[in-house]
Chain A
C-alpha cells in the first residue's frame, strides 16, 4: 500500500505558541487529505477535508482560524495549531487518497502536548 508520513511524531509546546504538523504522501499524489483528531481512548473525529489547491472544508465546531490547513501540493498538507492551549492537546492523524486508489492511507499520527 501507499505510505503517508507525519512530522513531527511528537511535540510539546508552551501555551500561546503555534505548532505546524506536516502530512506527506511519500509515493503517490494525494488529491485529498483528511485531518482527524483523536482524544485518549476515544474515536477519531474528522476535523477537515483538504483538496489540493483548494481551501479546506472544516467540520462544524472546528475553528478554521485556530486550525489552519494548507494543501499546497499533491504530496503535502499542513495543519497549524495557532495559539495552542492545553485543551488542544491531542493525537492528530491525517489520511490521504489519490487518483489510483480506492482507499485512504493513514499517517502514524502526531501527539501534541500543550503545557
Chain B
C-alpha cells in the first residue's frame, strides 16, 4: 500500500537555525509529493509540492526535492523564524481526485 513516514517530533530550534524534517514514502506508481503546514487552530495549507522525480518544490524559504532513488522528500529551510512554528505534514497523492496519504506530522517549535 501507499504510506508516508516522517520524523517524529517535536522539533525545537532556535531562531535562524537550519531545519530538516525527513520524509520517506512507499507508493505503487508515481505519486506527487506535498508538504502541508498547520498553524495552531487552523486548517492545512499547502506549503510546496513536487510532481515528478528530481523536481524541487519551494515556498517561503522552504524547499524539498523529490528523490525517487531514496523515496524521500525531506523538507529544509536555511534559517527558521518563530513564525514557522507549526505542524508540518508530508503527503502523497496521485491526482486531484484521489485522497492524500499523510504522514503523522512533525511539530516544530522555534524559540527566539
What is A's interface to B at a CB cutoff of 8 Å? 1, 6, 31-32, 34, 36, 41-44, 46, 49, 93, 95, 97, 101-104, 106-109
Contact = CB atoms under 8 A, between A and B. Distances in A.
A103 B33 CA distance: 11
A108 B46 contact: no
B19 interface: no
B49 A103 contact: yes
Interface stretch (B20-28, B62-70, B74-82, B102-110): B102-110
A42 B105 contact: yes
A102 B43 contact: no
B44 interface: yes
Closest 9 CB pairs of A and B: A108-B43, A97-B96, A106-B44, A43-B104, A43-B102, A46-B99, A109-B43, A44-B102, A106-B43
A93 B43 contact: yes
B43 A42 contact: no
A48 B24 CA distance: 25
Contacts of A103: 46, 49, 96
Contacts of A36: 99
A34 B99 contact: yes
A33 to B, nearest CB: 10
A22 to B, nearest CB: 14
A15 to B, nearest CB: 25
Contacts of A44: 44, 89, 100, 102
B46 A102 contact: no
A102 B100 CA distance: 13
A101 B96 contact: yes
